[in-house]
Amino acid sequence: MDDPHRTGLDRPLRGGAVRQAGRGSLLRLAPPLTLALMILPVLAGLAGTVIPAFRNAGAGVASLFAWPGLPRAAALSLGTGLASTLIALALTLLILAAFAGTPTFARIRRSLAPLLSVPHAAAALGLAFLIAPSGWIARLLSPEVTGWQSPPDLLILNDPWGLSLTLGLITKELPFLLLMALAALPQLDADRRLTTAASLGYGRIAGFTFTLLPDLYRQLRLPTYAVLAYGMTTVDMALILGPTLPPTLATQITLWMGEASLTMRDTAAAAALLQLALAISAITIWRITEILVQNLLVRAAFQAPRLPNLDRPAAAAARAASLVITGSLTLGLAGLALWSVAGLWQFPDAVPQSLTLRTWVSAAPALGQTTATTLAIAATATLAALILTLACLQAEATLNLTPTTRALTLLYLPLLIPQIAFLPGLQMLTLPLGIDGTPAAVAAIHLVFVLPYVFLSLSGPFRAWDSRIATAAATLGASETRIFWRLRLPMLAGPLLTSAAVGMAVSIGQYLPTLLIGGGRVETLTTEAVALSSGGNRRLIGAYAALQLLLPALAFGLAIAAPLLLWRNRRLMRGLA
């Protein structure tokens, strides 16, 4: 411990953080503890993957490379991941550039934020029903516009190029990236930068690109990598929307893992390692592109193009993009909701012939218990993640610890490694301990996936918090503890609640960890919904999807409403809305 009696004035200011070591010893433990919690399960699980991949003289690796579908499956994984991330990020930035600080932006935010809580599987099923040849769009237009009496034989879903899958991923990742950006914006003093740029004659787009984008992207980088890794390794969405001949690599791994004969597990393990290598390559490609774009931007900045003519088309494009995204997801989910009360509903009827509550009535008894379990697990994991994240960040700020890039990468390990690669190995380890099959064990494994997201969404705003406020408070005699509880935390209420909502949504959406570590005994809305979705019953899927939406949507509603209420008389604390 450093000398605790020094006053605020003689503390050196380094890296924008106020150096003080009040109760440093306990806080000092937080980062290593958190890292251990993140890394140990992944490493243990990975060991359970590496060993089978290479045993028997590498039979798994050999059989993987003998699989004729490998090049295409790998290319699909890489292609859909990169394309969906690129488009989702571009659209996010476009929307921000065109509308940040305008009333339109508040509207877009309100319509997109709830969509973040939509579980991937539900979003995919909704989208599938919307765009299928027998889907809602075709039903609405038939037979009057299209002349179709029966659905046309068009390959829209499961197309070999993964276009439907890419679209599905974009609709899910755009709200996530946008919300991450929103959490960061207030800390960047965005209003003033944009105003200054505008006063110098820059158009909105140019002003945003040159004054805000570099700092904003710094905070969006890790969320973007997480989106990229997720897009490449998603299974539930790829099962519903993705190609099947062959499927993406991650889907194929799941199929091999599930093979009844249990003979393909070594192949699956080898494929999981390849998937890991692919994810690392994709992030490397992304990083190189970042540097190139950065150079281009710097060069362009010296030309100082004002580009005011760009604003109108950009605004139109941003409006169209957000409309398509919100529209497709909302309509798709509305379609599912309608299915949950539908009687017979045949093509080309635009609406069901009859409505019935039969689905809901028969599902009702199972729902109460399942909802309670889901909520309890999500709340436990999220609370633990928040405490650990805050402890880490506070330790970083007050003890002047600089997080190394390696530590950060390690923290995101659970997001970058395909779940299917390390969970079965992990399950083998929990068995002898006798802790599997309990909600507590499931909450613990959820923490591994929830924490990175909570950290991702909270660390940016936390670090960007203006430390001069702390300096000022310290010169007035406030202790570090008091500064934390009375200034930092309340001022970060918005990002804090958003992180909590993200954490809840992540936990509620977990399928594989719940199934494997829960031993099938811990039933959540998502395990139930995915089990049902294998049966394709749109009515029941609709009912479960509606409930799956409701819990996270409530959390996000709270995250948005609470700061508005809390800060109703402090405009600058409410972000740019």
Partner 1 sequence: MHRRTALQLLASLPAFAGLSTKALAAEWDGILSEARGQTVYWHAWGGDPKINDFITWIGEKAQERYGVTLEHVKLAATSDAVARVLAEQQAGQTEGGAVDLIWINGENFAAMKSQGLLYGSFTEYLPNWPLVDVAGKPATVTDFTLPTEGFESPWAMAQLVFEHDTARLPQPPQSLDALAEWAIANPGRFTYPQPPDYLGTTFLKQVLYGVMEDPSLLQSPVDEAAYDAQVAPLWAFLDRLHPALWRQAKAFPQNEPALGQLLADGEIDISFAFNPGRASAEIAAGNLPDTVRTFVLQGGTIGNASFVAIPFNAAHRAGALVIANLLLDPEVQARAQDPAVLGFQTVLDLQALAPEDRARFDALELGIATLSPADLGPVLLEPHASWMTRIAQDWTARYGVAQ
- Contact residues for partner 1, defined by CB under 8 A: 67-69, 72-73, 132-134, 150-151, 153-155, 157-160, 239, 243-246, 255, 257-262, 343-344, 346-347, 354, 356, 358-359, 362-363, 365, 424, 427-428, 431-432, 434, 436-437, 515, 519-521, 523, 527-528, 530-540
348 upstream amide cis, omega within 30 of 0: yes
As a residue count, the chain comes to 577
Nearest to 88 by CA among 165, 208, 173, 183: 173
Quick one: which of 194, 156, 478 has its CA closest to 328? 156
To partner 1, the closest distance from the beta carbon of 257 in angstroms equals 7
Cβ-contact 257, 53 below 8 angstroms: no
Which tokens go with 223? 């969320």
- Amino acid at residue number 386: L
Shorter beta-carbon distance to partner 1: residue 74 or 416: 74
Q: How many helices (H) and strands (E) does the chain have?
A: 25, 2
**Of residues 4 and 71, the one with the C-beta less far from partner 1:** 71
Report the nearest approach of partner 1 to the CB of residue 347 (Å).
4
Closest to partner 1 by CB, 239 vs 474, is: 239
Q: How far apart are CA 118 and CA 552, in angstroms?
A: 8
Q: How far is the CB of 162 from partner 1 (least distance, A)?
A: 12
d(CA 181, CA 542): 31
* Residue nearer to partner 1 on the CB measure, 111 or 438: 438
| Residue placing its CB nearer to partner 1 in the complex, 226 or 257 | 257
The CA dihedral of 407, 408, 414, 418, to the nearest 10 degrees, is -110
Q: Which is nearer to partner 1, 74 or 391 (CB)?
A: 74
User: Which of 102/354 has CB closer to partner 1?
Assistant: 354
Least separation, in Å, of the C-beta of 85 and partner 1?
25
For partner 1, which is the closer residue by CB, 74 or 491? 74
- Centroid of chain to Cα 449: 10
Nearest to residue 427, comparing CAs of 516, 522, 520, 521? 516
CB distance 294 to 94 below 8 Å: no
Q: Which is nearer to partner 1, 200 or 351 (CB)?
A: 351
Using DSSP's 3-state secondary structure scheme, residue 175 falls into: helix
Q: How far is the CB of 93 from partner 1 (least distance, A)?
A: 34
Nearer to partner 1, 69 or 490 (CB): 69
- Cβ atoms within 10 A of the Cβ of 296, count? 10
Both tokens assigned to 387: 């405490």
Q: Report the candidate in 232, 196, 238 with the shortest Cα–Cα distance to residue 78.
A: 232
- The nearest distance, CB 118 to partner 1, in angstroms, is 20
What amino acid is encoded at 155 in this protein? Answer: L
Q: How far is it, in rounded angstroms, from Cα 425 to Cα 298?
A: 47
Supply the minimum distance, in Å, between the C-beta of residue 45 and partner 1: 12
Q: How far is the CB of 76 from partner 1 (least distance, A)?
A: 11
Shortest distance, CB of residue 440 to partner 1, whole angstroms?
15
DSSP states along 250-305: HHHHHHHHH-TTS-SHHHHHHHHHHHHHHHHHHHHHHHHHHHHHHHHHHHHHHH--
Nearer to partner 1, 198 or 546 (CB): 546
Please, what is the minimum distance in Å from the beta carbon of residue 539 to partner 1? 8
Specify the residue, 358 or 486, whose C-beta has the smaller distance to partner 1: 358
Question: Tokens representing 258?
Answer: 């599930």
Residue 240 tokens, joined: 């519903």
Is residue 96 within 8 A of residue 219, CB to CB? The reply is no
Instruction: Considering the complex, state which of residue 521 and residue 568 has its C-beta at the smaller distance from partner 1.
Output: 521
Asked if residue 303 lies in contact with residue 313, where contact means CB atoms within 8 angstroms, the answer is no
Residue 488 or 539 with smaller CB distance to partner 1: 539
Q: Least distance (Å) from partner 1 to the CB of residue 171?
A: 21
Nearest C-alpha neighbor of 560 from the set 487, 492, 497: 497
In angstroms, give the least distance from the CB of 126 to partner 1. Answer: 15
The torsion region of residue 254 among left (phi > 0), alpha (psi -120 to 50) and beta comes to alpha
- Residue 241 beta carbon to partner 1: minimum distance, rounded to whole angstroms: 11
Nearest to 189 by CA among 486, 393, 454, 461: 461
Whether the CB-CB separation of 206 and 94 falls below 8 Å is answered with: no
Which residue's entry shows tokens 């890296």? 15
Minimum Å gap between C-beta 278 and partner 1 is 18
